[in-house]
Amino acid sequence: MKKHVLAIIFIILSSCITGGFGVYHTVGDDESVKSLSKLYSVEESAIRTVNNLLPDAEKLEKGSSLFIPGVKEARKAVKEELVAKKEKKQGEKIITPQNSEEKAEIPFEPIWPVKGKIITKFGGALENRSEGIDIEVPEGTNVKAIENGKVIFSASHSGFGNMIIIQHSEKFISIYAHLQANFAKEGQTVEKGDNIGQSGKTGATEIPKLHFEIREFSKPVDPEKFLK
């Protein structure tokens, strides 16, 4: 479990460094780091580094998700594309096996971390793409946990300044950056509405604000679609 959490943190921080410029690839049959390197024309070392893969790791687990940096669009191997076209042409119905023992999904009904003016929206052009939203608030404003969860990162990180990452479930993670102070510590369990820190202007920002993100399976999603 600890290795899983560390992998999540590594992918998120790596994504923050690259500005999220890249795509997530779902590993198919017999795909390897080498085949993905050829498919996307990306160095094997880059794929290994951003996904925290060992130097000798070659075989990849089918269905796992890897971040491919510097790529604009996800691709499929030629074999997969031919199979997909054949199934579509023949009108075959693809049935996904259901796990009868699948755990019930944990409710995710987040609240706003702070109240303020949104000065940067989610998305945008690739070169200036925002993986979350920026909310302008006075320095020292209390920042709330948007939902129950566990703090998996609480420290300073590059241009994001003081940052907190909370894991709410296997599916959702929230990120709070440019904090003046981090109240919640790594490993701490928090409840929805708890004050986890105070807004500030640490890192690469000239004005007090909260940079806020929601990740679904480590992939950035628009927070405004979830917040109430």
Domain ranges of the chain: 2-90, 117-225
Q: What is the pLDDT of residue 94?
A: 47
Q: What is the pLDDT of residue 194?
A: 98
Q: What is the pLDDT of residue 103?
A: 56
Q: For the segment 24-60, what is each residue's pLDDT rounded down to a tens digit?
A: 788 888 888 888 888 888 777 777 776 777 777 777 8
Residue ranges for the chain with pLDDT beneath 70: 1-22, 50, 70-72, 77-104, 126-127
Rg (CA), the chain: 19
Task: In whole angstroms, give the CA distance from residue 158 to residue 151.
Answer: 19
Q: What pTM, to 2 d.p., does this model score? A: 0.64
Task: In whole angstroms, give the CA distance from residue 69 to residue 47.
Answer: 7
Q: What is the pLDDT of residue 63?
A: 82
| CATH 3.10.350, domain 2-90, yes or no | yes
Task: In whole angstroms, give the CA distance from residue 197 to residue 182.
Answer: 4
Q: What is the pLDDT of residue 82?
A: 46
Burial 109-147, CB ≥16 within 10 A → b, else e: ebeebbebeeeeebeeeeeeebbbbbbebeeebebbbbb
Strands 195-199 and 162-167: unpaired
Q: What is the pLDDT of residue 172?
A: 92
Q: For the segment 118-131, what is each residue's pLDDT rounded down to a tens digit?
A: 999 998 876 678 88
> φ, ψ for residue 163 (rounded to 5)?
-140, 145
Angle, vertex CA 62, rays to CA 57 and CA 63, nearest 5? 120
Q: What is the pLDDT of residue 87?
A: 53
Task: In whole angstroms, give the CA distance from residue 18 to residue 207.
Answer: 22
- What CATH topology corresponds to 117-225? Glucose Permease (Domain IIA) (2.70.70)
